[in-house]
Structure 1
Amino acid sequence: MNEMTGTTGLRDHFEIATLISGFFRTMDERRYDGGWPGAYFTDDLRTTTPLGVAEGADAVRHVEEATARFAATLHISSDVLVQAGPGARTAHASWNAHMTHVHLDSTLRARGEGANPLFTVGGIYEGDFRRTDSGWRISRMSVRAVWTRGEPPVLPEETAVRVTELTGAQASG
C-alpha cells in the first residue's frame, strides 16, 4: 500500500514520476552526453532486462546499446505508483510502459521484403530510488514484458547466446 501522505509525499511522487519521464525521453532522444547517467542513476545502478542483469557502468552501457539496436524508439510511461513515506531517503515505484521500436534498415534487409518495421512491447517496470544531494536517482530497475508484437532486434551472436542461456528461449541472432 502506498504510504505517501501530505505535501512531502506528493512532491516525492512528482519528482520520481518526472525522473522516469526524463529517463525515457533521454533514451528516445539518445542524449547520452557524459553527464547523463548521473542525472538519472546512482553509481551502483543494477538493471534486469530480458537481455540480462547489469551493474554500474555496465548497466548504463546496456541502456545505450539497447537503443542503438533500433533506428528510433518511443517509450511512454503511465500509472506510476510510488511507495515512500514522507521524508524518506528511499522509495519503490512501478509503472507501465508502452515501448515502440523502429528497426534499423539493416535489420529489415536481413529479414527480407515485407518485414515488419516495428517491434512493440507492453511492459511493467519496477525500480528502487534513492534520494541524493541532487534529488531522486534510480538505484535498481527491472522491466518485464507483458506482451510483444513484431520481432525483436537482430542481436550480436554473443548477446543472442546470453539471452538463450538466461531465458531458455531462442533469441534472434
Structure 2
Amino acid sequence: MKDVKSAARAAAFAAREAAHAKGQGQAAELLADFLAPHRGKVLSGYMPMRSEIDPLPAMAAHQGPVGVPVIPGRDQPLRFREWSPGCALVEGTFKALVPAEGAWLEPEVVIVPLLAFDGRGYRLGYGGGFYDRTLELLRARRPTLAVGFAFAAQEMAGVPIEPTDQRLDAVVTEQGVRLF
C-alpha cells in the first residue's frame, strides 16, 4: 500500500501544481458560502503551503471562532490554536505557520487540505495520518463536519484507502460543492 500511495501522491502533486498555476477562481467564495450556515461553530482552517488552495478569505469571513492546526508531535492528533487575520505567526512543524499565541479550540467544522480526493469522499494526504487521527478523535466526541478544499483537478478515480482513513463529508472546489 505504501508504494501505491506514494505513486498516487506524486501524480496528485503534479495535478495540484498545474491547477494552482491557473488560479483558484471563486473557490474561497464558494467555501465561505458553504460554511455560512455553520456560523457560531468553531471552525478549523489551515495556513496554505506551496500549491495548496487558499482558504484564508473563507476563514476570515467565518462568523465564529477560527483555529489552525498545530502538530504537537509524531503520531499524535492535531491541536488547534485560535487564529484571526493579522495575528502574529511563527513557524511550526513542517514549516507551517501557526499563531504565536491564542486559545486552544476544538473544532466542529474542519477545512481539510489534501493532495487528492475521489467520488466516495476519501482524501489523499501527505502521509502523516494527522487529519485521519484527528477526525477520528473529534468524531468520537461529537458530530464533526470535514470539508475538503481543493482544485477540481485534484480529483482522482479512486484514492487508495486503509481502514484508518476518514471520509470527508464534502469537498469544495472552484467548480462547486460535492457532498458525500
User: How does the TM-score come out when normalised to structure 1?
Assistant: 0.25
Bigger-Rg structure (1/2): 1
Higher strand fraction: Structure 1 or Structure 2?
1
